[in-house]
C-alpha cells in the first residue's frame, strides 16, 4: 500500500493547553469550523517558487497570493514574494489563472526563503449534461459522478440549461501528487482535531453554466461520487473511509461524510463540489531538520523523504538556510532518506517513534564529501544600469530535467548577491542558470555552465535581456504601455475562452498584458473570438469594434507580428485602443 506523507508541505502542531493560538482561523470563511490548529503568532516570511502546467510548461501570468501579498509568475513560471504576513506555523499560498483549476499549498514556513512547487491543472471540460435530468459523467478509470439534475448559480438561484462538467482524478501513486493536490495532507476532523492523512484518491469537479458562470449542486440535493482505487491499495483499503472537502478559503481539508468500498472504488454522496479526498486519518507531531555539508554550511534544496513502514513517500526540500519542518505520523518507526541531485539515496537513517503532538528537532545532519559532492555557487545580479538587483531570484536547473519538472535549485537574491550550497551527483555538474529581476521584469536568459567543487563563482551577471520582442498598448490618449522580454507567445490548446488559439502574455512594473483567442492560429484579420487584458482592463472583441490583424505568424523561434485597433465600451464609456506586437513564437 502506498502511504504518502509530506515532510515539508504539512504544517500544524497540536498542544494540550488552551491558548490564544487555538483560534477559529479567519472565522474559517465558510462553515465556521473551529479547529485546534496551533497557528502561532503573526510573522513575516519570504517565498519563491515555480508554477507549471500538467504538461510541464511554465504558467505565466498566474496570480500568486499569500495573505495580503500578491505577485504574478513571469514567462518562466517563477514568482517571488518577500515579507508576506503569515502565521509562525501556517502559510497558505494560492495560485489562480483563467483556464486552470485553482492551485494552492499550505506549509509550515521556515525563517529562510521558502520554495514552493505548484502544478496547475487545465480546466478541461469532460462532458456537458442538461439540468433537470439524471446524468452520469465518467472518466476512463471508473471514477464517476451521478447528478440528479438540480443545480444552482452563485446567488443560490435555480439554474436551468446545459452544465459543463470538468473532472480530474488525482491518484495517490501520481509522482507529482504533492505538487498537484491543494493544501497539504493536513486536515481538521469532525471533532475539530488536526490530523495527518493518507490519501486513497482525490477528485476535483468544476461545474459551469452555458455562459461560463460557476454552478453548484442545488441546496438539499446530493451527487453520488465514485472514486477509483489504486491497485496497490486494494488489499488494505478500509471498508469505510472518511470524506474530506478542501476549503479554498483556509487551505485546510475538512471531514465531511464518508464513503464505502464497493469493488475497486469508494462510493459516497456529496452536497457540493471543488476538491474531495478519500483519506484515512492519523495523529501527528512536528519534525524539524537541518542539513549541512562538512564545513557546516547549510545545504539548500536538498531532497528529503520520510517513509512509514518502509513505503514510499513524497519528497521535500530544505530552504536557503538548510531547514525543513512539517508534520509526520506520531507513534511510528520511520525511515528518513536524503537524495542528491540525481535522485540517488546518499543517506538513510531510522527515526522515531515520536510522541503525539510533540515538536522534535533532530541534531544537524551533515552530508560528508565522501557521500556526495557539495558545491557552492555564487554570483551577483546587476540590472541594466549596473545596480544590484534587490528583488530577484537565482534559479538553477539540469539540462536533463525534462523527466523531472522540479529538478532544480532556487534562491532569493539579497542586494544582488546569491549563493547556493548544493548537492551534486558528479565532480563536474552541468547546470543552467537563470536570473530574474522582478522589479524591472527582465532576465539574464539561460546561461549554461559547469559547476565544479568546492566553489564556482559566476561573477557579475547582467539581468538585462535585449529587447528582441515587444508589445505596446495605448488606450485613448493615455501614455503608451510597453511590455518587453519576457513574453510568452504561441498556440495554447487550453485557451480560457474555449477551444485553442493564439495567445500572448507579458507583464511590466505596472501591469500585465494578456491576449487569448479561440480558433486563431495564423495570418488573417479577425473581429471576434479574442479577448485581452491590459491597462484598459478586460476587453472582449465580441460586442465591440476591435480588429486583430496578424501579418506574420512564423514557426517556433520566429516572429509573430500583430496589431489590434478599434473601439470598445466598458463601465467608464467608449475608448479607442491601439496595440502593436512583435513577439517570438514559443510553441
Task: Over range 395-408, report the average pLDDT.
Answer: 63
The pLDDT mean for the chain works out to 83
Element (H, E) at 177: helix 177-180
Q: pLDDT tens-digit profile of 94-112?
A: 999 988 999 999 988 888 8
- The correct CATH number of 373-462 out of 2.60.40.3330, 2.40.30.10, 3.40.710.10, 1.10.580.10 is 2.60.40.3330
DSSP string, 481-520: EEEESSEEEEEETT-TTSS-EEEEEEE-SS-EEEEEESS-
Burial group, residue 229, by CB count within 10 angstroms (0-12, 13-18, 19+)? buried
Q: pLDDT tens-digit profile of 218-266?
A: 999 999 999 999 988 898 899 999 999 999 999 999 999 999 999 999 9
pLDDT band at 387 (very low <50, low <70, confident <90, very high): very high
Q: What pLDDT does residue 2 have?
A: 37
**Alpha carbon of residue 385 to chain centroid:** 33
- CA-CA distance, 444 to 401, in Å (whole number)? 20
Q: Is 420 helix (H, G, I), strand (E, B) or coil?
A: strand
- CA-CA distance, 76 to 42, in Å (whole number)? 31
Name which of 45-54, 98-107, 367-376, 563-572 the model is least confident about: 367-376
pLDDT band at 536 (very low <50, low <70, confident <90, very high): very low
% of the chain surpassing 70 pLDDT: 85
Sequence-distant (6+) residues with CB within 8 A of 17 are none
Task: Over range 490-516, report the average pLDDT.
Answer: 68
Instruction: Determine the straight-line distance between the first and last CA of the chain, rounded to whole angstroms.
Output: 40
Q: pLDDT tens-digit profile of 320-333?
A: 788 988 778 888 88
**What are the sequence ranges of the domains in the chain?**
127-282, 373-462, 470-584
The answer, as to whether pTM is greater than 0.85, is: no
Q: pLDDT tens-digit profile of 39-78?
A: 889 999 999 889 999 988 888 888 999 988 988 888 788 8
Q: What pLDDT does residue 27 have?
A: 39
Q: What pLDDT does residue 13 have?
A: 26
Q: What pLDDT does residue 151 have?
A: 97
Q: Which CATH architecture has domain 127-282?
A: Sandwich (2.60)
DSSP string, 108-134: ---SSEEEEEEEEPB----EEEETTS-
546: pLDDT strictly greater than 80: yes
H helix intervals, 35-172? none
Q: pLDDT tens-digit profile of 150-168?
A: 999 999 999 999 999 999 9
Burial group, residue 88, by CB count within 10 angstroms (0-12, 13-18, 19+)? middle
Amino acid at each position: 500500500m502506498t502511504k504518502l506523507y509530506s515532510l515539508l508541505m504539512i504544517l500544524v502542531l497540536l498542544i494540550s493547553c488552551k491558548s490564544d493560538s487555538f483560534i477559529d482561523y479567519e472565522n474559517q470563511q465558510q462553515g465556521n469550523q473551529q479547529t485546534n490548529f496551533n497557528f502561532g503568532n503573526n510573522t513575516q516570511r519570504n517565498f519563491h517558487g515555480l508554477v507549471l502546467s500538467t504538461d510541464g510548461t511554465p504558467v505565466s501570468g498566474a496570480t500568486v497570493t499569500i495573505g495580503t501579498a500578491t505577485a504574478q509568475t513571469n514567462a518562466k513560471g517563477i514568482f517571488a514574494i518577500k515579507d508576506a504576513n503569515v502565521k509562525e506555523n501556517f502559510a497558505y499560498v494560492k495560485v489562480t489563472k483563467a483556464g486552470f483549476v485553482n492551485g494552492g499549498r499550505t506549509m509550515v514556513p521556515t525563517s529562510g526563503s521558502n520554495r514552493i512547487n505548484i502544478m496547475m491543472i487545465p480546466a478541461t471540460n469532460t462532458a456537458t449534461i442538461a439540468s433537470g435530468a439524471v446524468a452520469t459523467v465518467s472518466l476512463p478509470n471508473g471514477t464517476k459522478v451521478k447528478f440528479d439534475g438540480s443545480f444552482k448559480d452563485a446567488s443560490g438561484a435555480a439554474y436551468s440549461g446545459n452544465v459543463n462538467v470538468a473532472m480530474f482524478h488525482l491518484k495517490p501513486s501520481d509522482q507529482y501528487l504533492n505538487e498537484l493536490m491543494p493544501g497539504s495532507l493536513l486536515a481538521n476532523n469532525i471533532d475539530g482535531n488536526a490530523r495527518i492523512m493518507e490519501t486513497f484518491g482525490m477528485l476535483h469537479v468544476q461545474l459551469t453554466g452555458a455562459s461560463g458562470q460557476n454552478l453548484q449542486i442545488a441546496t438539499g440535493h446530493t451527487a453520488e461520487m465514485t472514486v477509483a482505487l489504486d491497485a496497490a491499495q486494494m488489499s488494505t483499503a478500509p471498508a469505510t473511509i472518511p470524506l474530506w472537502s478542501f476549503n479554498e478559503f483556509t487551505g485546510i481539508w475538512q471531514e465531511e461524510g464518508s464513503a464505502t468500498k464497493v469493488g475497486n472504488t469508494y462510493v459516497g454522496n456529496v452536497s457540493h463540489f471543488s476538491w474531495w479526498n478519500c483519506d484515512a486519518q492519523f495523529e501527528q507531531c512536528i519534525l524539524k531538520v537541518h542539513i549541512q555539508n562538512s564545513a557546516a554550511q547549510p545545504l539548500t534544496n536538498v531532497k528529503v523523504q520520510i517513509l512509514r513502514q518502509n513505503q514510499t513517500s513524497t519528497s521535500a526540500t530544505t530552504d536557503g538556510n538548510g531547514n525543513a519542518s512539517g508534520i509526520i505520523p506520531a507513534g511510528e518507526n520511520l525511515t528518513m532518506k536524503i537524495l542528491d541531485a540525481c535522485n540517488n539515496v546518499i543517506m538513510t537513517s531510522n527515526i522515531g517513534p515520536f510522541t503525539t503532538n510533540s515538536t522534535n528537532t533532530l541534531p544537524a545532519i551533515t552530508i560528508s564529501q565522501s557521500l556526495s559532492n557539495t558545491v557552492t555557487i555564487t554570483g551577483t545580479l546587476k540590472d541594466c544600469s549596473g545596480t544590484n538587483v534587490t528583488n530577484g531570484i537565482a534559479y538553477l536547473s539540469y539540462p536533463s530535467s525534462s523527466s523531472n519538472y522540479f529538478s532544480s535549485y532556487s534562491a532569493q537574491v539579497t542586494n544582488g548577491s546569491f549563493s547556493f550550497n548544493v548537492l551534486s551527483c558528479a565532480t563536474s555538474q552541468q547546470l543552467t542558470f537563470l536570473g530574474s529581476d522582478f522589479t524591472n521584469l527582465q532576465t539574464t536568459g539561460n546561461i549554461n555552465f559547469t559547476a565544479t567543487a568546492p566553489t564556482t563563482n559566476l561573477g557579475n551577471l547582467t539581468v538585462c535581456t535585449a529587447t528582441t520582442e515587444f508589445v505596446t498598448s495605448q488606450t485613448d490618449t493615455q501614455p503608451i504601455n510597453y511590455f518587453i522580454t519576457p513574453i510568452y507567445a504561441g498556440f495554447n490548446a487550453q485557451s480560457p475562452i474555449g477551444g485553442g488559439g493564439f495567445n500572448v502574455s507579458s507583464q511590466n512594473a505596472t501591469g500585465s498584458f494578456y491576449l487569448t483567442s479561440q480558433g486563431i492560429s495564423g495570418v488573417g484579420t479577425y473581429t471576434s473570438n479574442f479577448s485581452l487584458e491590459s491597462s484598459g482592463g478586460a476587453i472582449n472583441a465580441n460586442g465591440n469594434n476591435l480588429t486583430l490583424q496578424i501579418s506574420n505568424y512564423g514557426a517556433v523561434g520566429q516572429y509573430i507580428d500583430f496589431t489590434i485597433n478599434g473601439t470598445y465600451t466598458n463601465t467608464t464609456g467608449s475608448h479607442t485602443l491601439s496595440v502593436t506586437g512583435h513577439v517570438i513564437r514559443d510553441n
